[in-house]
Amino acid sequence: MSTHPQPDPGDWAIAIHGGAGAIPRDLPEERKEACLAALRRILASGRRLLADGAAALDVVEAVARLLEDEPMFNAGRGAVFTRDGRHELEASIMDGVTGRCGSVSNLETVRNPVSLARLLMDRTPHVMIAGAGAERFADDMGVERVHNEWFDTPHRREEFERVGGFDPVLQEGSTIGVVARDEAGGLAAATSTGGMNGKMPGRVGDTPIHGAGNWADDGCAVSCTGHGEEFVRHAAALRIATGLGTAGTLSESIHDVLSGMPAEVGGVIAVGTEGPPVLSFTSQGMYRGCADASGRSTVAIWEDMT
Ligand code: ASP
């Protein structure tokens, strides 16, 4: 039996992120406005779905697909480059109601990795699949495929050429994530990424690792962004969830975990069984937005934006 308080009926909430990182304050106006507009548009879709009574699991998948398709963010189209100039995508999804989860890694041709992760969860006994086997699973499922170059954008190519592809770096804004609480109180999380700019081919980050970059149970749903290796070392998402028992509130639990990690490591979005979503980061900025049944709806990039 759940030890967490039961939510009020109709008390839905959603948070999204488009990645944390060293997002410069002098971000070109055009890019800033385009990112905020994309966040607003995609958040509105999630809001509508939840207000219409959709299940959190379906909402996080649907909204993550929109974020993957948005070239501003490092997931799906707009993914960063590996050291050898290709794209390798990863994603995960978790249903807090049933505890089921699925994740995919090292994908090169799947347009919406989050949906392949959902299919793995729904249609197979497995929780993670990678590389050639994952591409074969995509063949079997008939999901939409694209050429690897389809994920290219001029912005990511310029970023890649600037760092020379030598040391993997956290780009100025990255990974996407969605957490939601539905009208029935169900929680779910989805996270999707191209990883880190200049990463080694075959590298696996925190995004597809359950409990590191993504987690949902009956107490909270969590999606992380930032330096993946650190989120794996700290089992960040799972520790935020288990920390709820001692920390008291979701924001305290997130603070406890982030403050034990290296400075400027990244950020987290989370939603609990009640109250507004929590969006927290230690990096310079995090593309983000949240909304809930009270009518609140907001998008932001840096700390002092409301
Ligand atoms: N966490 C992602 C990774 O390390 C990157 C990011 O969030 O920007 O693959």
Structure tokens at 288: 């983000």
The DSSP result for 23-81, as a single string, is --TT--HHHHHHHHHHHHHHHHHHHHHHHTT--HHHHHHHHHHHHHH-TTSSSSTTPPP
Q: State which of 206, 209, 214, 233 you would mutate to test the pocket of ligand 1, scoring each by most atoms of that ligand within 8 A of its C-beta.
A: 206
253 residue type, one letter? S
Closest residue (by CA) to atom 7 of ligand 1?
Answer: 225
Is 175 assigned a catalytic role? yes
* Exposure class string for 225-237: b at 16+ Cβ within 10 A, else e: bbbbbbbbebbbb
Residue 35 lies in a domain: yes
Residue 303 lies in a domain: no
| 21 C-alpha to ligand 1 centroid (Å) | 9
Residue 5 lies in a domain: no
| 230 C-alpha to ligand 1 centroid (Å) | 10
Q: Which residue has the tokens 């009208």?
A: 183
- CB 123 within 8 Å of CB 110: no
Closest residue (by CA) to atom 1 of ligand 1?
Answer: 228
Q: How far apart are CA 81 and CA 152, in angstroms?
A: 8
280's torsion region: left (phi>0), alpha (psi -120 to 50) or beta? beta
| Residue 166, pLDDT score | 54
Residues 6 or more apart whose Cβ sits within 8 Å of residue 106? 88, 89, 90, 130, 131, 134, 202, 204
Structure tokens at 70: 């948005």
| Residue 273, pLDDT score | 96
Burial class (CB in 10 A: 0-12, 13-18, 19+), 60: buried
Query: Which strand (E) or helix (H) includes residue 137?
Result: helix 131-141
Closest residue (by CA) to atom 9 of ligand 1?
Answer: 195
- CB 276 within 8 Å of CB 13: yes
Residue 139 lies in a domain: yes
- Here the CATH number for the domain that contains residue 145 is 3.60.20.30
Residue 2 lies in a domain: no
Q: Which residue has the tokens 């700390």?
A: 303
3-state secondary structure of 228: helix
131's torsion region: left (phi>0), alpha (psi -120 to 50) or beta? left
Question: 197: closest CA among 284, 70, 74, 69?
Answer: 74
Q: What is the position in ligand 1's atom list of the atom closest to the CA of 231?
A: 1
Q: Looking at residue 216, what DSSP letter applies?
A: E
Closest residue (by CA) to atom 4 of ligand 1?
Answer: 228
Q: Ligand 1: residues whose CB is within 6 Å?
A: 19, 170, 174-175, 193, 195-196, 205-207, 213, 225-226, 228, 266
Q: Looking at residue 255, what DSSP letter applies?
A: H
235 residue type, one letter? A
Closest residue (by CA) to atom 6 of ligand 1?
Answer: 226
Q: How far apart are CA 51 and CA 36, in angstroms?
A: 22
Q: State which of 83, 103, 107, 175 you would mutate to test the pocket of ligand 1, scoring each by most atoms of that ligand within 8 A of its C-beta.
A: 175
| Residue 167, pLDDT score | 59
Question: 147: closest CA among 217, 77, 216?
Answer: 77
For the chain, report the end-to-end CA distance as a whole number of angstroms: 38
Q: What is the position in ligand 1's atom list of the atom closest to the CA of 170?
A: 8
| 98 C-alpha to ligand 1 centroid (Å) | 26
Q: 274 lies in which domain range?
A: 13-294
| 151 C-alpha to ligand 1 centroid (Å) | 17
Rg (C-alpha) for the chain, rounded Å, is 17
Q: State which of 196, 284, 287 you would mutate to test the pocket of ligand 1, scoring each by most atoms of that ligand within 8 A of its C-beta.
A: 196
| 193 C-alpha to ligand 1 centroid (Å) | 7
Residue 212 lies in a domain: yes
| Residue 1, pLDDT score | 47
| Residue 224, pLDDT score | 98
| Residue 181, pLDDT score | 98
**Domain total in the chain:** 1
Residue 103 lies in a domain: yes
| 294 C-alpha to ligand 1 centroid (Å) | 31
Residue 192 lies in a domain: yes
From the candidates 82, 109, 175, 193, give the one annotated as an active-site residue: 175
Digit-by-digit pLDDT tens for the chain (306 residues) are 455 655 555 899 999 999 999 899 998 999 999 999 999 999 999 999 999 999 999 999 999 999 999 999 999 999 999 999 999 999 999 999 999 999 999 999 999 999 999 999 999 999 999 999 999 999 999 999 999 999 999 888 888 887 755 555 555 657 999 999 999 999 999 999 999 988 999 999 999 999 999 999 999 999 999 999 999 999 999 999 999 988 789 999 999 999 999 999 999 999 999 999 999 999 999 999 999 999 999 999 998 654
